[in-house]
Amino acid sequence: MKTNLIKRTFKQTLIILIPLSILSAFIEWKRLPLSIFLGGILGLVNLRGLARGVEGLLGTHRPAGKLLFSSFLRLSMLALVLTILIIYKIINILGVLIGFTIVFISIITQGLKIAREYPEGKEEK
């Protein structure tokens, strides 16, 4: 089910992200399209890292510490990448937020769809 959720989220996000980035070129050609696209891609990479981290914890004895460390490392790398892109004025902060928001909305909508497909007490085989 996890893989299905991530695949659906990636697909839905890209279906929204690419046309929105293209349309945003009519508003501001220089940084907005790239910012929206990079924000979405960074959000998807973050989602993938979170999924791998949680998946890797299933067999460990001390999951809380390992999850905390991997989450801190992942978010630090995300902050470092965003800081570098902002310092060199490659991206627009509003565009990155739009990209992250698209990923967040995709996660929520796909999670709700899967929750409706698998009612309580019914397991995927």
Return per-residue pLDDT of the chain as tens, 125 residues: 456 889 999 999 999 999 999 999 998 778 999 999 999 999 999 999 888 887 777 766 666 777 788 889 999 999 999 999 999 999 999 999 999 999 999 999 999 998 888 776 565 55
Instruction: Give pLDDT, residue 61.
Output: 64
Q: 17 near 102, Cβ under 8 Å?
A: yes
Instruction: Give pLDDT, residue 38.
Output: 96
Lookup: tokens for 43 = 């959000």
- Residues 6 or more apart whose CB falls under 8 angstroms from that of 47 comprise 6, 9, 103, 107
CA 15 to chain centre: 14
Instruction: Give pLDDT, residue 95.
Output: 93
